[in-house]
């Protein structure tokens, strides 16, 4: 369980981040919610009953990350859980990817996770350890016919970063694992033409399905899991493989 733990969740203003915040708060976790949309994340914090706090942080801004983590450390004295969920795609196909798109995809989906791990891991280590969960994507393993080369490359890099962090931080009692969502029903996918029948398990993946996997990896139930990659895709990768 995660009761009485202190957790940072990025991209918490909507979708998977919001669902994760709701689930962890319901389990008694103190949730510290990061999102560049300050109004959205403030609404999520207000909706939660267990002492949630909102931080309008753009995770591509290293100074903002360091400032927020320092403030949290001063206030709570500890950080037990980090959920690197913030991310987003861009549909540029391989030959159309320009430098700006490439750098933006890496900054949001990969470099932000590195910066947050670097900021949070020393705090975790001083308190005996912690759990980090990085939210990657099925796109890290499979090519998309719709493009998104920068996004796919960044998410594949996030898996490699997770494995390296799991190896280097294990001696400090810090576990690092990844969740790979398939297409998930959120505001970003509300116009998708994909139907329930396209998933081998017969229905769309919901944000709370991903949140459940994240909460498991963040909890003591997963105390012997590190470097793991948990796929939550309704069976799609079975068909793709």
Query: Residues with catalytic annotation?
Result: 151
Q: Give the dihedral sign, CA 188/14/165/109.
A: positive
- Cβ-contact 158, 198 below 8 angstroms: no
User: How do the residues of the chain divide into helix, strand and coil, expressed in percent and rounded to 5?
Assistant: 50, 15, 35
> Angle 110-127-134 (CA atoms, 0-180°, nearest 5)?
20
Q: 114, 159, 118: which is closest to 135 by C-alpha?
A: 159
- Cβ-contact 73, 53 below 8 angstroms: no
């Amino acid at each position: 369980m995660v009761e009485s733990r202190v957790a940072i969740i990025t991209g918490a203003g909507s979708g998977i981040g919001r669902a994760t915040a709701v689930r962890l708060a319901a389990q008694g976790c103190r949730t510290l919610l990061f999102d560049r949309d300050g109004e959205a994340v403030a609404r999520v914090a207000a909706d939660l009953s267990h002492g949630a706090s909102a931080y309008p942080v753009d995770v591509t801004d290293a100074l903002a990350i360091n400032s927020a983590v320092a403030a949290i450390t001063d206030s709570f004295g500890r950080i037990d859980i980090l959920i690197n969920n913030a991310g987003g795609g861009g549909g540029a196909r391989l030959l159309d990817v320009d430098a700006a798109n490439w750098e933006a995809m890496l900054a949001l989906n990969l470099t932000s996770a590195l910066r947050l791990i670097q900021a949070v891991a020393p705090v975790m280590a001083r308190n005996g350890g912690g759990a980090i969960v990085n939210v990657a994507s099925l796109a890290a393993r499979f090519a998309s016919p719709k493009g998104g080369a920068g996004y796919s490359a960044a998410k594949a890099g996030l898996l490699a970063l997770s494995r390296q962090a799991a190896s280097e931080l294990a001696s400090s009692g810090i576990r690092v694992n990844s969740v790979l969502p398939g297409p998930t029903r959120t505001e970003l996918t509300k116009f998708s033409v994909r139907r329930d029948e396209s998933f081998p398990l017969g229905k769309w993946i919901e944000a709370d399905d991903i949140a459940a996997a994240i909460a498991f990896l963040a909890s003591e139930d997963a105390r012997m899991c590190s470097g793991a990659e948990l796929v939550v895709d309704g069976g799609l990768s079975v068909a793709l493989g």
